[in-house]
């Protein structure tokens, strides 16, 4: 998969260093939002999150985001979810341009969110594992 280094506008917004902000980066990239706006939106939804046995720590735009809260953010923005993995199905879709739709999508992979635009991975590192990384599902927006 072709890789394009893209921090989603993080450095332009004045943020420094590395952090676990993959959700915010991916959101800013595919939704074409300023990084700060995506950051604030993510934290706004994280405020309403409840801790549970499985999720002891709340989502945070800087340190990590739970998929359940990511669903709420994308639903709020009018994006649709397409699951690609089901119980007992095994991995059927990978971070491979031949297996993903064209357009602007955010793929949910193990412990990471990755922005893909027309088959090109936009992230701060190539997380495709040579196109073998399993995609659990992806968010996309219908063209208006």
Confidence of residue 144 (pLDDT cuts 50, 70, 90): low
**Cα distance between residue 108 and residue 61, in whole Å:** 16
**Cα distance between residue 105 and residue 124, in whole Å:** 16
pTM exceeds 0.75? yes
Tell me the average pLDDT of the chain.
Answer: 93
Count how many Cα atoms sit within 13 Å of the Cα of residue 64 in the half-sphere of its side chain.
Answer: 8
- Pick the more confident residue, 62 or 124: 124
Lowest mean pLDDT segment, chosen from 8-17, 23-32, 97-106 = 8-17
Residue 35 has a CB neighbour count (10 Å cut-off) of: 23
**In the predicted structure, residue 34 carries a pLDDT above the cut 70:** yes
Closest CA to 34 of 16, 15, 17, 19: 15
Q: At what angle do helices 35-47 and 67-76 cross, to 10 degrees?
A: 120
């Amino acid at each position: 998969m072709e890789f394009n280094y893209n921090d989603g506008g993080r450095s332009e917004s004045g943020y420094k260093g590395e952090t676990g902000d993959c959700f915010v980066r991916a959101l800013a990239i595919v939704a074409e939002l300023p990084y700060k706006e995506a950051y604030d939106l993510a934290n706004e939804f994280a405020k309403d999150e409840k801790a549970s046995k499985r999720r002891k720590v709340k989502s945070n735009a800087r340190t990590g985001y739970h998929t359940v809260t990511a669903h709420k953010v994308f639903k709020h923005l009018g994006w649709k979810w397409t699951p690609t993995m089901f119980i007992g199905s095994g991995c059927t879709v990978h971070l491979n341009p031949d297996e993903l739709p064209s357009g602007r999508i955010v793929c949910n992979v193990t412990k990471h969110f990755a922005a893909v635009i027309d088959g090109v991975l936009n992230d701060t590192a190539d997380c495709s594992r040579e196109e073998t990384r399993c995609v659990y599902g992806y968010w996309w927006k219908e063209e208006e």
